[in-house]
Structure 1
């Protein structure tokens, strides 16, 4: 139960500063949960009705989010009547509900009995007594009708569907829930109390916690704190991943028949948690997942420091590591030096608050039945802050490539692509390996397999590397943007996989980079050289089409890519024959002409292959993609240098 202790520690360290936040991402007090309220009723200190209004969740979602007291039973209610202690639906809080909604059982009596017990206890509060005084008048729905918050049909029942024009549609009819199911919260105006919002009153919260724990029906020993004779939890909190999540991490529902598979007679023999530990741990986890968790369908992954220190994202790409730069494209690093500088600054910023005494936890959560049933811990690691940063730094240093691509929406709402140097995200890796149409189950499994590679420094799964490299060898099967994205991710994986194989258990300071992002003209690896050769073939055809004014299209090199990987010698002979017409046109130009320089470079690579005996039909390894992409990148570097020289020359000539 170490993870429960770690969450409780986090709760105790962080609760003082964030309990009052009026948002769905609040760190909740124990014995409280959140609900979207649709109606707000204002009372005076004596419980007299003052006013009411409908809340516009569509306009401001945070305005409708309400932190409410709850019991274990009310927080887990599915069927039957189990009222919340203070705020609830009309079905519970309106004494005249049955008059206006015939045929549906009212929970008013149960609600009032519970509220009266609280008001009669030493833990009562003037605001709570005002609410009790009002609801006992049994005029709530009539009051809401008079305030034009609710409307009645011709039969005198609550109107469920608006039949008038959209312009005149009342606010309550624009909300997701039915008017008869509206959730109600209260404001109580008491002289001397500046804030009338009952749900934001800290004293009301603390008095309910004291009241509920004092009245708690079950006591026992807490396996986390070791305390005895304390209130123990029987029902773990839900809503871990979102407001509709009913899956539980800790659950016991096996009290009949072959109970607990014959191992225990009751759930207490398995484990008991104090109500306080259960509430603190689950509320802390909810808060962390909402605030900084990574979500992938039903899968949730969250990393946190016990003192809420800022952490680099575990499942992000290179851009995520140093913040949102998509609106400042000039700040996105595309050179080796810029990347190293920004990465070091980012890690240095995090290390200011993370050190050997900091505690960092990484947790993965998932369920097999959507938002129902059991929520499983699929991954769990505890590290010191400095060790966590070292491992994140290692991943983002050893798994980089250029260019990688990331989409974003510009100010006009249009989808744009940016190029960056960095590491791909786990989801990008899954898509590169299995395609954008992969199902959620495979995507989640892939992300789960990659977590040990990021957090523990484990080797990449070879099948993932092979799958990505195979898809990157099939440009004819995808659109150009998808191929470019797949190629970049595949190269990042290939480079890391082969570099890691030569640096087993090596520290980052001693890490030897055999395969680089930049072009390595001294690399004599057969597959790498063949990849460079393929890049030359592509560039020569592209350049010739450009000179001829022909619309850009997929080149022969791209169409033959998969075949080239399987039988490089014969495929190259075919490609070379198709290049001859282009080369013959280039030869009418001087030796410094770009097309002729490409031919010279291509011949140099061919000589290296033939002299080493590597020009054979043996299939190529994945590293051919590194040679291919690096050579294409080099063409781009040379083009930028040429433009810079021309601009400088024009400047020296006085702009003529």
Structure 2
């Protein structure tokens, strides 16, 4: 229950955000929903005058709308008649639905709907807008007005057209707009209502805080029996029906459900679901609404699996699945550090620690960090796959260690170079390629998360997958291989610890030295080739074989270098000399065909980086002399 309690406390701590529309970068809207409210895609908007008459109507496409909701309507399915209190499908809100050919099963939905709306409108909590909408709908002429307004359409028998067919082209010049926004017949159209005033601009009904409060107070007055809430420990009105639409408006999966009374849910241990655990209506509503808000605001969803991290009093917490560039970009005071070139673990650790201190200062001393992973195996059931609640000091300490040990220099962002740990999604890229199935990616991200927040070792199969792909550059494009290589170096560095991008000439490790040899051979050949010659060097082409049989393959590579050494002449003397120095540093007994470990990639990257950096410095110096 701890995750429910923390979500409930998050809702309470962010009461100022309730009912306020926020926007993502892609302009999609979301909000922290009020209690007893949910969202629904509306197709038609109907405007009612203040005195309860029809004003106008429009097809609005599929627009996500905040609507009042009861326990029954929020969990209705099949033929069950459970109307939403205000906005709903045409079959519920239209009193003339049957008169225009609408088909119903047991009871007429409108009867239940209009009685519920009447109770709200005539209660002490009803307001003028609810009364205006009730007055109009009670006239039972909605479909008649919508047909007149050319929003809905009838066939030759004056009945509602079901699905659109070419035979109706004789009646209408073109396909009506309503059939482009609904998947079934017109009876499936969802209607939202608004109140129009000629004297003033009124707040839209679905965005009106007074409407929210009106229904919340009305519905609270209708709540049933009280029971002990296992989340808060208080005796409050309880509920057995809990929210769906957690990940998106079409999501039917629930985190809490106990409706299988005839199956094997209780297995003889209990006779009623509330004997297992009872949750109050208020806690359920607030916790689920907070979860929806956090997912829309900052959650990552991959193949319907949600990765979410937040703090109760301040949702803005560094995401353990992101790389430092993304984290720094969200923290404006130190955003400039994102462009710095930091090549040592110690310097980077200090820079990153400074940024984390900025985050920590925004949180209270009692703040804890919540990490949650959700997924559903079926359309109706969702599960918590992973949940951790950590002390903020411990969380930031673990985050700092991850970003100072799983570290390397990366250039795969266009025009940006940064040093740090790769995002977990990019580790999946390195291990399985950019076209990996999302199920594989989300599985890897879930496995990597404990490595960040619990300081676990990266699973060896992930390291091997990255190593094998990085050792086979001919199987991918250059940009893809370069990205795979730097990410693999970061992963291996986390496993080995203590290596830096800066070349360590004192490192006498066999695999590291073999990697340096390969890098020098690659750079030597590249310098001998023309600048517009983009073919791979022999060192790159033989890289996979080199990783498995280094001594034998090096003989082949060195023989292929001779023409390029001759072409460079004196200009290649330093590189040839360097090859001799590195090769002689390898112990005689170690110069064999034993397969190389991932350390050779670290040596390869660092040596190549050092040579390219040295060349850039010489070029810059020459330009300064010329100027």
TM over 0.5: yes
3-state DSSP of counterpart to 1:605? helix
Partners of 2:215 and 2:466 lie apart in 1 by 56
Contact 1:433/1:465, CA 8 A, preserved across alignment:
yes
Q: Any idea what the Cα deviations from partners look like across 1:510-561, whole Å, max 9, x if unmatched?
A: xxxx2112211111111000001011111222222226x6x32122212211
User: Where does residue 354 of structure 1 map in the other structure?
Assistant: 363
Structure 1 CA distance for aligned equivalents of residues 43 and 109 of structure 2: 19
TM-score of the superposition, structure 2-length normalised? 0.91
> Which digits, 9 at most, give the CA deviation of each residue in 1:131-171, with x for residues without a partner?
11111111111212222323333443345538779997655
- 1:563-578 superposed matches below 5 A: 563-578=545-560
Whether the 8 Å contact between 1:22 and 1:66 is mirrored in structure 2 is no
- Deviation readout 1:56-110 (Å, 9 max, x if unpaired): 55xxxxxx33211111221122211321011111111111222334445552122
Query: Deviation per CA, 1:417-462, whole angstroms, max 9, x where unpaired?
Result: 7543221111111221223343333322211111111112222222
The corresponding residue for 2:100 is 100
- The offset of 1:309, in angstroms, is 4.3
- Which of 581, 588, 611 is 1:635 aligned to? 611
- How many Å separate the matches in 1 of 2:299 and 2:243? 18
Looking at structure 2, the residues matched to 324 and 45 of structure 1 have their Cα atoms a distance apart, in angstroms, of 46
In structure 2, do the counterparts of structure 1 residues 323 and 127 end up closer, same or farther at CA, with 3 Å as the change threshold? Answer: same
Tell me if structure 1 keeps the 8 A contact 2:338–2:418: no
Which of 437, 441, 457 is the equivalent residue of 2:455? 457
Match of 1:520 among 496, 504, 508: 504
The question of 1:144 aligning with 2:146 is answered yes
Tell me which of 598, 606, 613 is aligned to 2:575: 598
Q: Is 1:373 aligned to 2:376, yes or no?
A: no
Measured at CA, do residues 66 and 102 of structure 1 come closer, stay the same or move farther in structure 2, by a change above 3 Å?
closer
Query: Which of 525, 546, 553 is the aligned partner of 1:541?
Result: 525
- Mapped to 2, the partners of 1:394 and 1:168 lie a distance apart of 64
Determine the C-alpha separation between the residues in 2 that align with 1:266 and 1:129. 40
Relative to structure 1, is the Cα distance of residues 362 and 496 closer, same or farther in structure 2, using a 3 angstrom cutoff?
same
Corresponding residue pairs, total = 609
Equivalence for 2:237: 231
Q: Distance in 1 between matches of 2:472 and 2:596?
A: 14
Aligned residue in 1 for 2:4: 4
The equivalences for 1:234-633 within 5 A come to 234-323=240-329, 332-336=339-343, 343-344=352-353, 346-354=355-363, 356-369=365-378, 372-406=379-413, 418-499=416-497, 514-546=498-530, 551-587=533-569, 589=570, 593=571, 595-610=572-587, 613-633=589-609
Looking at structure 1, the residues matched to 415 and 98 of structure 2 have their Cα atoms a distance apart, in angstroms, of: 57
Separation in 2 of the partners of 1:268 and 1:354?
Answer: 36
SS of alignment partner, residue 590 of structure 2: coil
Instruction: Name the residue aligned to 1:40.
Output: 45
**Does structure 2 conserve the Cα–Cα contact (< 8 Å) formed by 1:87 and 1:185?**
yes
The 3-state SS of whatever aligns with 1:38 is: strand
CA shift digits 1:372-391 (9 cap, x unpaired): 13211111111233332222
SS class of match (1:315): coil
Conserved? CA contact 1:404–1:489, under 8 Å:
no
Secondary structure in structure 2 of the residue aligned to 1:261: coil
Name 2:69's counterpart in structure 1.
70
| Structure-1 separation of matches of 2:301 and 2:502 | 34
Q: Deviations over 1:201-253 (max 9, x none)?
A: 2232223222223222443221112222x221111111111111111111113
- What is the deviation of 1:393? 2.1
The secondary structure found in structure 2 opposite 1:517 is coil
Relative distance call for 1:102 and 1:173 in structure 2 (3 A) is: closer
CA distance in 1, matches of 2:173, 2:411: 48
1:161 to 164, 170, 175: 164
Residue 650 (str. 1) matches residue 626 (str. 2): yes
Q: 1:100 to 1:198 in 2, by over 3 A?
A: same
Q: What is the match of residue 129 of structure 2?
A: 127
Structure 1 unmatched ranges of 5 or more: 58-63, 407-415, 500-513, 652-656
- Alpha carbons of 1:130 and 1:429: their partners in 2 closer, same or farther (altered >3 Å)? same
Q: Secondary structure at the match of 1:232?
A: strand
Q: 1:258 to 1:457 in 2, by over 3 A?
A: closer
Residues 167-212 of structure 1: per-residue CA shift (max 9 Å, x gap): 9765534425454322212222469985242222223222322222
Question: In the alignment, what sits opposite 2:26?
Answer: none
Q: Residue 411 of structure 1 aligns with which residue?
A: none
Partner SS, residue 51 of structure 1: strand
Give the alignment's Cα RMSD to 1 decimal.
2.7
1:52 aligns with 2:57: yes
Name the CA distance, whole Å, in 2 between partners of 1:353 and 1:5. 22
How big is each residue's C-alpha offset from its partner over 1:301-338, in whole Å with a ceiling of 9 and x where there is no partner?
Answer: 1111111242112211232111279xx99963444389
Which of 9, 12, 35 is matched with 1:30 structurally?
35
Q: Secondary structure at the match of 2:279?
A: coil
Per-residue deviation, 1:257 = 4.7
Q: Secondary structure at the match of 1:184?
A: strand
For structure 2, the 5+ residue unaligned runs are 24-28
